[in-house]
Structure 1
Amino acid sequence: MNNKMKLVIAPDSFKESISAYGACEAIKRGILEVMPAANVICKPIADGGEGTLDALMPSDQQIWLSVTGPSFKPVTARYGNIGDIAIIEMASAAGLMLVSESEKKAGAATTYGVGEIIRDAVSKGYKKIMLTVGGSATNDGGCGMLAALGARFTDVNGKEFIPTGYTLNNISAIDLSGVFKEILDCEFIIATDVKNPLLGNSGATYVYATQKGAQAEELPKMEAGMKHYAELLKSLSGRDVAEINGCGAGGGLSAPLLAFFNARIQSGIDTVLDITDFDSALLGADAVITGEGKIDSQSLYGKAISGVAKRANAAKTPVYCFVGCIGDDPNKLKAMGIADIFDILSLADSSDDAMKNADKYLYSMARTFALNASKNKE
């Protein structure tokens, strides 16, 4: 039996069931039981949205700190690093999960805490920052973040304030002279697969604000404020960020970063694969095992599985997918370059069993996979 295969294990989390790290470990255990000499490389991944930080590193390796939450109350947030890159998840400081149902008011929420995390990371010497922008409670165009970085916003009377989605129209001037100087030397990678621009019917306000507690009748005023703010950014920086694809993600968080600093928007999954050096792990690999909770037609577009499959296919490495359940025709899904798909639900007694015991079933699936792979290698 030839059990010296090289296998790359790169799953996303199985939502509400098992983390990407946990899935990696379960699959690895199953493979090594059958093929103890196999070279198994674990690369837990995420698509750049909420949960990316936990996918990339365990919580005990993260940096924890107190910052201003979306409701202007203190919250405990965290960030991490891979090498010299700081990984900051917007949702950790400005996430929808940080506000109660009664506090959900997109127009009143702030991203100030996101700026506090950035400032902490930069003060520790990080000059390259990956910022994920999913799952936010905010629609302030990143004003709170910019204020935390040292910018001053004043109204027509010269009074300083921290703008929110409700008060963007009150901004008369933006003074950047007090911005934390080290920020100017930083490179920001804004990880998102959202394509929405800042303004318009497909922009931050009209598409996402109601999901964050805004009322339909508030939207025109909030949109007018965002437009006014975008015009101010353009007049100050010379850059028109309003129509940039992805600028509408996270309530427009990236707008001031794109306007004033060295920042770019990049596909979430591609960013994660790049910073985890996934392509190097593929060299000489016999197969890649990826996965997520449910594979369906959405998995074809900018999600973790499609990103992994694209890279593996380019390296001519077969891709196998372990999932919780299959939501579409498997043959249609295999069109994205997946050799085969295995699902937990077909093994479990029920969906509840599948959710609660994903670790056990992933281990079992990996063991079966390794047995078959060993036979094929003989």
Structure 2
Amino acid sequence: MTHVVLAPDKFKGSLTAAEVARALAEGLLAGNPSLRVTCTPVADGGDGTVAAAVAAGWTFVEVDGTGATGRPVRTAYARRGSRAVVELASVVGLATLPAGLEPMGASTFGLGTVIGHALDGGAREIVIGVGGSASTDGGAGMLQALGVRILDAEGNDVAPGGAGLRTAVRVDLSGLHPAARDAHFEVACDVDNPLLGPNGTTAVYAPQKGASAEQLVELEDAMTRWALLVGTATGRDDCAVAGAGAAGGTAFGAVSVLGATIRSGIDTVLDLIGFRDTLVGADLVVTGEGSLDVQSLRGKAPVGVAAAAGQAGVDVVAVAGRRALSDSQLHSAGIRMTYTLAELEPDIHESIANAAELLRRIGRTIAETSTDFVTARMGEEA
């Protein structure tokens, strides 16, 4: 029996990773009912990371949080034993903003409240997926929620967001959540930007969060001041650490104060869901995301899935809304064949609206050719 593993990421703005996998599975089984199909939706550390863990059997834990602009939100994290997976995007991400972008005042405070809830519940190994941030505050809000005080010249707590950090003169770590001192933190991200400079978090990502040219100068000043104050408090200088600039510098705060390590988001997720164990006995892996483009080659989910499958000797095909990569680029990434919704429905609005049905059609097509991959691999092995 041919075993197909479905490991797609979300189709942003259209379907979740689980919905993509479900539609493909329905198409595959309609085309060939004898197939064995396993659904393992994935993520790259951004939105969908908690959902991927829950789909793999982790416990879903709902909690009240605070959005990037202080608005109450209902969010969740995943839990398994003493391990927890927390997702920035679901509590203080761009999608949670109620009324437009807030480049100066948006904060990661709500992320810290979720981490605190996990610590209070006994979690001592915490993965923080940091994609999709709405703020540029260097992780200051996250740390404030965990008991760190950031004080101005009058001894008052600074205002939320990057703007508030411009008045900071001292960081007091004495009130840090006791459990955070003994816990191990891992930041899952897919960027390598440092905190400061022309490739830093402000220059590269703050414009996407609505910052004007003048605000970019202010935010870079704030991040520079923040880095100096944190360095004074911790005795560390992590400004140049690759990935410290992830999520508006949230990774910097996690590394410098919480002692976190930074790791590729997709590699982290694949470990969390036991993906390599799922590959045992698999004949074909189907991965994908909304757009296969140059960003996909920089650590996005499909390329990470393809790398893991390639190491296991399993062929990989990809599905996408559209693709902007050549066959040679895809083959170099370990993707043998690609199917796109655009080939079936060129109108992007119709493609998005009917993504599930188009994926079912693609699933049927893959089902009709799945045995070809098995036969070809057996020939190569012979």
Q: 1:147 to 1:349 in 2, by over 3 A?
A: closer
Corresponding letter in the other structure for 1:64: E
Name the structure 2 match of 1:265.
Answer: 262
Q: Distance in 2 between matches of 1:44 and 1:76?
A: 23
The 10-residue stretch of structure 1 (43-52 or 75-84) with the greater mean CA deviation from structure 2: 75-84
The answer to whether the Cα contact below 8 Å between 1:45 and 1:55 also exists between their aligned partners in 2 is yes
Name the structure 2 match of 1:110.
Answer: 107
Give 2:72's match in structure 1, choosing from 71, 74, 82: 74
Name the structure 1 match of 2:87.
Answer: 89
After superposition, what is the alpha-carbon deviation per residue over 1:78-128, rounded to whole angstroms, capped at 9, x for unaligned? 2223565322121222222333555x3322222111110101111112222
SS of the equivalent of 2:132 reads coil
The answer to whether the Cα contact below 8 Å between 1:134 and 1:250 also exists between their aligned partners in 2 is yes
Residue 37 (structure 1) shift: 4.4
Gaps of 5+ in 2: 376-382
Corresponding letter in the other structure for 2:144: A
| Number of residue-to-residue matches in the alignment | 373
Corresponding letter in the other structure for 2:352: M
- What's the TM-score once normalised by structure 1's chain length? 0.90
State the percentage of identical aligned residues: 39
Give 1:142's match in structure 2, choosing from 134, 139, 143: 139
Corresponding letter in the other structure for 2:72: P
Name the structure 1 match of 2:182.
Answer: 185
Q: Distance in 1 between matches of 2:77 and 2:3?
A: 32
SS of the equivalent of 1:108 reads coil
Q: Distance in 2 between matches of 1:262 and 1:19?
A: 32
Residue 61 (structure 1) shift: 6.5
SS of the equivalent of 1:254 reads helix
Residue 248 (structure 1) shift: 1.0
Give 1:307's match in structure 2, choosing from 296, 299, 304: 304
The answer to whether the Cα contact below 8 Å between 2:42 and 2:48 also exists between their aligned partners in 1 is no
Q: 1:17 to 1:169 in 2, by over 3 A?
A: closer
Q: Distance in 1 between matches of 2:54 and 2:109?
A: 25
Q: Distance in 2 between matches of 1:154 and 1:91?
A: 27
Name the structure 2 match of 1:209.
Answer: 206
Name the structure 1 match of 2:325.
Answer: 328
After superposition, what is the alpha-carbon deviation per residue over 1:287-322, rounded to whole angstroms, capped at 9, x for unaligned? 111112222333222111111111111111111112
The answer to whether the Cα contact below 8 Å between 1:64 and 1:79 also exists between their aligned partners in 2 is yes
Q: Does 1:289 align with 2:286?
A: yes
SS of the equivalent of 1:316 reads coil
Q: Distance in 2 between matches of 1:229 and 1:375?
A: 57
Residue 163 (structure 1) shift: 4.9
Corresponding letter in the other structure for 1:200: G
SS of the equivalent of 2:68 reads coil
Q: Does 1:160 align with 2:193?
A: no
SS of the equivalent of 2:197 reads coil
The answer to whether the Cα contact below 8 Å between 1:13 and 1:55 also exists between their aligned partners in 2 is no
Q: Distance in 2 between matches of 1:219 and 1:325?
A: 33
The 10-residue stretch of structure 1 (73-82 or 42-51) with the greater mean CA deviation from structure 2: 73-82
Q: Distance in 1 between matches of 2:229 and 2:189?
A: 24
Q: Distance in 1 between matches of 2:27 and 2:102?
A: 46
Name the structure 1 match of 2:18.
Answer: 21
Q: Does 1:358 align with 2:358?
A: no
The answer to whether the Cα contact below 8 Å between 1:296 and 1:333 also exists between their aligned partners in 2 is no
Corresponding letter in the other structure for 2:113: E
After superposition, what is the alpha-carbon deviation per residue over 1:319-356, rounded to whole angstroms, capped at 9, x for unaligned? 11122223233343223222211222223374333322
Q: 1:351 to 1:141 in 2, by over 3 A?
A: closer
Q: 1:215 to 1:361 in 2, by over 3 A?
A: closer
The answer to whether the Cα contact below 8 Å between 2:5 and 2:286 also exists between their aligned partners in 1 is yes
The answer to whether the Cα contact below 8 Å between 2:15 and 2:355 also exists between their aligned partners in 1 is yes
Residue 44 (structure 1) shift: 0.3
After superposition, what is the alpha-carbon deviation per residue over 1:149-197, rounded to whole angstroms, capped at 9, x for unaligned? 0112222222234553112232222222222111122221111112111
- What's the TM-score once normalised by structure 2's chain length? 0.89
Q: 1:36 to 1:152 in 2, by over 3 A?
A: same
Q: Distance in 2 between matches of 1:280 and 1:61?
A: 20
SS of the equivalent of 1:323 reads strand
Q: Distance in 1 between matches of 2:351 and 2:214?
A: 43
